[in-house]
Amino acid sequence: MSNQEKISEWFHQYSDDVFHFLIYRTGKSDVEDMVQEVFVRAIKGVDSFKGNASPKTWFFSIARNLAIDEMKSQKWKRIISFQAFHEPQNDVTPETLYQESEETQALYNAIQALKTTYRDVLILRGIKEFTVDETAEVLNWPPGKVRSTYHRAKAALSKQLGG
C-alpha cells in the first residue's frame, strides 16, 4: 500500500474524530481547514512515521500541535455552533433539542474554563475515549501523569459544573 493510500484510508478512519477534537480544543466552529492541515502535515511527514505509535495517536498529536500553533498565532472569540455535536434525530422535539443545546453549551464552557492540560486530557480520555496509553502517547506524558491529571481534571470539571 502506498503512502498516499495509507493517508487516504486513515483520513476516512480518523477525520471525524480529529474534527471533534479540534472543535473542543480550539473553540472554533469552522475547523474544516484545520482538519485538512492535519492531513497535509501527515502527508508531508508520512515518511517519518515509523509505526512506533498508532496512526490514531499520531494524527491526534499532529492535531494537538496544530491547535497549539493556532492558539498562539490568533486571538479569536469563542463562538461555536453546537449543531456539529448532534446527529439529526427524527423523534426529537424542539424542547429536547433546546435542553441538549444548553447542556452542551454549559459543558463546553466548563471545559474551556479549565487549564490546557486538564482540557487536553478530558477531551482525549473522557470525550474521545482514548486509552491511558493512547492519551500518554498523544500528550507525550507518562501513563501515571495521564491518570492523575485526568482524575484532577474530572474533579475540576465537576466543580465548574457546580457538582
Handedness of CA 15, 122, 114, 109 (dihedral sign): positive
- Same fold? 1-78, 92-163: no
Q: How does pLDDT run across 74-127, given as a tens digit for each residue? A: 543 333 333 334 444 555 566 665 566 777 778 888 888 899 999 999 989 988
Where exactly are the structural domains of the chain?
Answer: 1-78, 92-163
Which CATH number describes the domain made up of 92-163? 1.10.10.10
Question: What pTM was computed for the model?
Answer: 0.59
CATH for 1-78 is 1.10.1740.10
